[in-house]
Amino acid sequence: MKDVDTLIASLAQEATPIKPAAHPFVLFAQWMGGATAYVAVTLLFSGLRPDLLTRLHSPLYLLELILLLSIIATASLSAALLVFPDMHQKRRMAFSPALMLALLAALVFVSWQADSPPSPPPEHSIECTLYIAFLSLLPAAWMFYSMRKFASTHHYLAGSIALLASFSMGALSLRLYEQTDSILHVMQWHYLPMIAVSLVGLWLGKTLLKW
């Protein structure tokens, strides 16, 4: 009996303490703080569009920026919840990015209808998508690295939402930098690729977050 007690005491001493998982709101706050700093740094290097103050007087443009920021926030919160098997009993919050995407789609449609005659598109096209994708690499890597420390059972959706959040950061930065009012250009080279990237996130989630 003493040998058993000694063995138990020895195993207890050798056991490595497990650090409790951070609350999803803490993880969300870290990601949002990082996103704010990251977008600010990218704009520090690229600069703001020269007519930004004038464009901010446009309700549609201002609402577009607010919705982009809302997508970043809701997607970051959703990703933080999805790393937990039970979504921390906040299932509705986990699916809130879908509402923000629907609102953005509605706004793009209204802006397209209001853009008459159509604003001339910029000379570039796919360069915008590549620029946004490049900006999204660092925040995406950080989010996936953080999420791998948890035991998510929703790896498909978690990967998709993480890429949505990071791509939206790049989209917001470019929308504040690029001097264009062509809603067709923005829809084609900014927002449709956002959906495509989210689908790629399904595969990345399976590959990188499955345990």
Which pLDDT belongs to residue 24? 86
Which pLDDT belongs to residue 4? 56
Which pLDDT belongs to residue 2? 47
Q: What is the pLDDT of residues 61-105, one digit of tens each?
A: 999 999 999 999 999 999 999 988 888 888 899 999 999 999 999
**Nearest partner of 72 among 165, 144, 160, judged by Cα:** 165
Task: Give the count of beta carbons closer than 10 Å to the beta carbon of residue 168.
Answer: 34
Tokens 């399976």 correspond to: 206
The residues of the chain scoring below 50 in pLDDT are 1-2, 7, 11-12
CA–CA separation, 89 vs 98, rounded Å?
18
Which pLDDT belongs to residue 84? 87
CA–CA separation, 72 vs 176, rounded Å?
15
**Nearest partner of 94 among 71, 72, 77, judged by Cα:** 77
Cβ burial 125-156 (10 Å sphere, 16+ → b, else e): eeebbebbbebbebbbebbbebbeebebbbbb
CA–CA separation, 52 vs 45, rounded Å?
16
CA–CA separation, 97 vs 72, rounded Å?
8
Which pLDDT belongs to residue 11? 47
